[in-house]
Amino acid sequence: MRAIVISVNFGDIDYQAHAQEFAMLATGAGAEIVATVVAKRDRPDAKFFIGSGKVDEVALMIQSTQPDIILFDQPLSPAQQRNLERVFGIRVVDRVTLILDIFALRAKSHEGKLQVELAQLQHLVTRLTRLWTHLERQRGGIGLRGPGESQLEMDKRMIGDKVRALKERLAKVEKQRATQRRSRERSNTLSVSLVGYTNAGKSTLFNALTRAGAYAADQLFATLDTTTRRIWLEGAGQITVSDTVGFIRDLPTTLIAAFKATLEETVHADLLLHVIDASSSQRDEQLLEVNKVLKEIGAQDIPTILVYNKIDRIGLDPKIDRNETGSIKRVFVSAQERTGLDGLRQAMAEAKTLILGNTNIEYDEYF
């Protein structure tokens, strides 16, 4: 699908990285980017977000490039999206909708598909009015007196019923996960969750640790479905390791809400391995973005070890960093090259002793 990408620079220092990330999202969704338009603004335009001058520029570009769709690297209000589509004459998809579309494309498990469908419906219900603008122009005509409003209310009811049904089904999944967690707790098994920015290499690291064969690719949101495996660590015995969905800046709140059942694995983990792409120039910002989401889901106080992955790309050697108390704080690995994994296993073994071996330990003193 041919696409024009529109990106707005509000003077942010990290604008270029943000724009590159959106281009990866677009190509990951299957778009062929035929042109990119950059608008510089102090604040969004209320009607078009990018202002009427840029709208005219894009309209001319549409005539010459013949795109199928416009991809917008910011969230748009329903009114802004409707106004742009009226001028351009083709579909406009904003950042939130694009991320939802990628999740729909990548979800494989029954649970993952339910979660994506819930997020899409919750997002759609806020934008239903724009689907019925063709009836607004005909209101009052013979046979069309008031159908727009009645159809809109009907659609809202149908979506509401579907949302309730999906929430009930996901609640059952959540109960099943809770039962599994209680079983692990009774067996004194350490539960570890891999978290991190999307494309940090979590699934590759998960496969290296567990030999699970989970899907891993150099693309955003390669993993949506949580996979859990048991492994045996010398000096620590059996532990469970879970691979979870990656985070991204401006992650839609509807997605966070819909993926509550999946993210429960993170919230209830004993230990988080926060996987960071050591080769990324945006690693510090990405770390902050992940911490922001962890706080939003209530996982900010869980003991965490920072795992700097992809060190082979920047010529670093595997190593372990300890804090002032002597506990492991950072581990440097290459999941692709399978180097540094012994240090990571050692870190998890030590963490199990600290977390499950003495329940009176104050976690913040060690992590």
Tell me whether residue 357 is annotated as binding.
no
CATH number of the domain at 187-365, out of 3.90.110.10, 3.30.70.20, 3.40.50.300, 3.40.30.10? 3.40.50.300
Kindly report the three-state secondary structure assignment for every residue of 65-121: HCCCEEEECCCCCHHHHHHHHHHHCCEEEEHHHHHHHHHHHHCCCHHHHHHHHHHHH
201 annotated among ligand-binding-site residues: yes
Q: Is 246 annotated as a binding residue?
A: yes
Confidence category of residue 305, pLDDT binned at 50, 70, 90 = very high
Is 30 labelled as part of a ligand binding site? no
Q: Please report which confidence band the pLDDT of residue 6 belongs to, taking 50, 70 and 90 as the band edges.
A: very high
Give pLDDT, residue 252: 65
Q: Where are the alpha helices (DSSP H) in the chain?
A: 15-28, 52-65, 78-88, 95-106, 110-124, 133-136, 147-186, 202-210, 253-258, 260-267, 283-296, 341-356
225 is in an annotated binding site: yes
Residue 196 labelled as part of a binding site: yes
| Tally of residues, the chain | 367
**Tens of pLDDT, residues 239-289:** 889 887 778 777 666 667 666 656 666 778 899 999 999 999 889 999 998
pLDDT at 185: 56
On the question of a common fold for 2-103 and 187-365, the answer reads: yes
Q: What's the chain's average pLDDT?
A: 80
Closest CA to 192 of 235, 138, 228, 142: 228
Per-residue pLDDT of 130-170, as tens digits, reads 444 444 444 443 333 444 445 666 677 777 888 888 888 87
Specify the pLDDT at position 148.
Answer: 47
161 belongs to an annotated ligand binding site: no
What pLDDT does 359 receive? 37
CATH code for the part of the protein at 2-103: 3.40.50.11060
Q: Considering only residues 344 and 185, tell me which one the structure prediction assigns the higher pLDDT.
A: 344
Which residues 6+ apart lie within 8 Å of 189 measured at CB?
Answer: 230, 237, 238, 239, 240
Q: Tell me if 366 is assigned to a ligand binding site.
A: no
Residue 310 marked ligand-binding: yes
pLDDT, tens only, 189-201: 888 999 999 889 9
Is 244 flagged in the annotation as binding? yes
To the question of whether residue 9 is assigned a binding role by annotation, the answer is no
pLDDT at 37 over 70: yes
pLDDT reported for residue 139: 43
Asked if residue 312 belongs to a known ligand binding site, the reply is yes
Segment of 68-82, 218-232, 307-321 carrying the highest mean pLDDT? 307-321
pLDDT at 180 over 70: no
pLDDT of residue 320: 95
> Is 120 annotated as ligand-binding?
no
Q: Tell whether 222 is in a known binding site.
A: yes
pLDDT band at 238 (very low <50, low <70, confident <90, very high): confident
Mean pLDDT of 5-28: 87
Residue 336 marked in a binding site: yes
Structure-model confidence comparison of residues 151 and 16, the more confident one = 16
The pLDDT tens digits of the residues spanning 348-366 come to 999 988 887 643 333 333 3
Tell me the domain boundaries of the chain: 2-103, 107-166, 187-365
The predicted structure's pLDDT at residue 130: 47
What integer pLDDT is reported at residue 222 of this predicted model? 53
